[in-house]
Amino acid sequence: MNYDEIAYGIADAHIHFGDCSLYPFNFWESGLLDYKERFRPRKMLIFPFDVRPEHANERLVQFAATKLKRTARVLLKAVPIDLVEPNIIFRQYWEYKGTVIGFKLHTSLDRCPANSERYRSFWELANENGLIMLVHCGRWEEIASYKFALQSAALYPKAKVILAHMGGNELKNMLGAIETSRGLPNVYLETSNCRMSTMIAKAVEKLGAERILFGSDTPWGSVLPNIFTVLESAILEIEKELILRRNLEVLLNKI
């Protein structure tokens, strides 16, 4: 079996770009081109790591607009307002509106919870313009709990909020995120590095397949294992198709 063929035509909502402060990853233009050539994605949602975010934002937007074109959309790396002058990031949004459709909050790397006042101006802009806010959710509950992201999702209902890693990559976090998101129709869960097909099925049962987005967490995660987690889940084939290929496309068309 050619396993790469299973991935052809996916829509991937979690792809990184640039340099990461935690590990000497270097995933720049050549990495994105290799990814695109190998898996031929239908759609890609890409955002920078945390090293020199204003520089990585600019470089990513230019590359996406010229080389990836209709396949890719960009989330700018948002920053707590006391770390980088936010007007730089806002200027980039308005200058590249269309290619840029929202912001990524990496709460753990920034050491800043999603509902912090330090991110408030990004939430306000997203709410005013119906943009995506993709929020890293993790095990570090004092900083990266899904609960902070959902508090902001309730406060800014016109923002389209994506909880990365199914709300936190740990059973209690994923279950909590699924249950708490039920009353928030502007919230989506993204599957990267979930590792538990049962959680995919649980999310479909509670939220509906339309609110689950496939993500690979490239280059932190591997594409094929993340795909197989969805394929192994006890859900309908049409629901797998929605998660792996269609839902991100539909979401992007709303912006």
Looking at the DSSP bridge assignments, the partners of residue 27 are 18
Residue 3 is predicted with a pLDDT of 67
Q: Reply yes or no on whether the pLDDT at 249 is more than 80.
A: yes
In whole angstroms, what is the distance from residue 60 CA to residue 58 CA?
Answer: 6
Residue 39 is predicted with a pLDDT of 94
**pLDDT mean over 30-48:** 96
Instruction: Give the Cβ contact number of residue 238 at 10 Å.
Output: 10
Summary mean pLDDT of the chain:
94
Helices 86-95 and 120-129 pack at an angle, to 10 degrees, of 20
Q: How far is CA 118 from CA 90, 105, 211, 237, in A?
A: 14, 11, 28, 42
Predicted confidence band of residue 69 (pLDDT cuts 50, 70, 90): confident
Domain region containing 141: 3-253
Residue 2 is predicted with a pLDDT of 65
User: Which residue has 């806002």 as its token pair?
Assistant: 90
Predicted confidence band of residue 81 (pLDDT cuts 50, 70, 90): confident
**pLDDT mean over 68-83:** 88
Q: How many domains does the chain have?
A: 1
Q: Reply yes or no on whether the pLDDT at 189 is more than 90.
A: yes
For the chain, what percent of residues have pLDDT higher than 70? 97
Q: How far is CA 144 from CA 88, 98, 238, in A?
A: 25, 29, 32
In whole angstroms, what is the distance from residue 24 CA to residue 184 CA?
Answer: 37
The domain that holds 34 is classified in CATH as 3.20.20.140
For the chain, what percent of residues have pLDDT higher than 90? 88
Residue 243 is predicted with a pLDDT of 98
